[in-house]
Amino acid sequence: MATINFGGVEENVVTREEFPLAKAQEVLKNEVVAVIGYGVQGPGQALNQKDNGINVIVGQRKNSPSWDKAVADGFVPGETLFEIEEALQKGSIICYLLSDAAQIELWPLVEKNLTPGKALYFSHGFGITFNEQTGIVPPKDVDVFLVAPKGSGTSLRRMFLEGRGLNSSYAIYQDATGKAKDRVTALGIAVGSGYLFETDFKREVYSDLTGERGTLMGAIQGIFAAQYEVLRSNGHSPSEAFNETVEELTQSLMPLVAENGMDWMYGNCSTTAQRGALDWWKKFRDATKPVFEDLYHSVATGQESQRSIDSNSQADYRVKLNAELQELQDSEMWQAGKAVRSLRPENQNV
C-alpha cells in the first residue's frame, strides 16, 4: 500500500509496483472467477482477466446476443462459457456485473449459490448500499467487495490492449474469510486497473451516480446543448457552433487537460482565451453548484436509485430508452457532429 498526496490530502492507493500481476496470479491461482453478465463491464473485465492468465468463466443466458458475443470473443461453451446457474455453481468468486435492475431480478438465484467461503464481487456499490430497495443482502459467510473501474468496459479493454491501465476504486464490505483484501486487490490488478484507490460501497455509489448525472454525462450534454443553441440563435452555422462547442473541446483541449491538468491547458491557449476562461469559470461554478447540491441530495436520499429501479424494471424500458437516445442522435447538434467527425483526416478515405 502506497501513500499518495492528493492536493494536500494523503490517501492509500495500490499500484502495480507493489502488487504486480505475478502476485495477483498467485493469489487467484486456485480461484474460478465467474463473470455473470456480458454487457457493459463484463466483456472488458472478463477478457482482461483471461489475457492475464486468470481462470475466468462467463455466465450468460444461452441464445442471447451477449452469449454470441462471448463466443465471438473466444469463450467456449461448456468450457469457459456456461448458463448463469452453472457458472454460479462453478465460480469461487462471483463477479456480479449485470445491470442494477437485472441484479435485483437474479438475486435469489445468486444468493442460493453463495456457499461459505465464496466471494461476491461488484463493480458498483448500488445493490449493497440501497439494499432496502434492491433486497440484495449477502450471507455473512462470504466475502463481499468491489472494484469499480473509472470508465466504461470498452475503455478498460482499449487501454489494456494499449498497455495502459484505467484507475479504479476498491472497497471491502464484508471479510468472512480473512482473504478479502488480497482477493479484491488481485482482481483489481487482473481486470486491468492502473492503480486502485480506497473507498467504501456508499461513497463509491454516491460519487458514481453524481458523476454520471453531472460532469461525466448529464451536465456536459446540458452545457453543450445550451452553448450550441445560443450560437445557433445568434446566426452561427451548425458546423461552427459544433466545432466551438464540442469538437475543439474533445479533440484539442481535453487531451491537454488529461496530460497535465487544467492550468497547463490554459497555459497552452492564447492570452485572450486564458483571460476569458479565468474571468468566467467562477460564474459557471456559482451558477451550477446549487444544481449539483440538489443532485447529491437526490442521490443520498435514495431518490435517484429508486427512479433507476422503477424505470429500468419496466417491461418497455428498452423501447423508451432507445427513443430518448434516438432524440439525442437526431438533434441538429449531434447530426452536425456526425458530419464534422466524418471530415477528420483519419476518417477520410484515401
Active-site residue numbers? 124
Q: Which three cell numbers stand for residue 119?
A: 466471494
The 10 Å Cβ neighbour count of residue 292 is 15
Decide if 126 contacts 171 (C-beta within 8 A).
Answer: no
Maximum distance among all Cα pairs of the chain, rounded to whole angstroms = 67
Extended strands (E) in the chain: 2-6, 9-15, 33-36, 56-59, 81-82, 93-96, 119-122, 143-149, 166-174, 193-198
Grid coordinates representing 348?
A: 477520410
Looking at the chain, how many residues does it have?
350
Amino acid letter at 188?
A: G
Which is it for the CA torsion 218, 220, 221, 223, positive or negative?
A: positive
Contacts of 70 (CB under 8 A, 6+ apart): 38, 43, 46, 58, 60, 81
Q: Would strands 2-6 and 9-15 be described as parallel, antiparallel, or unpaired?
A: antiparallel
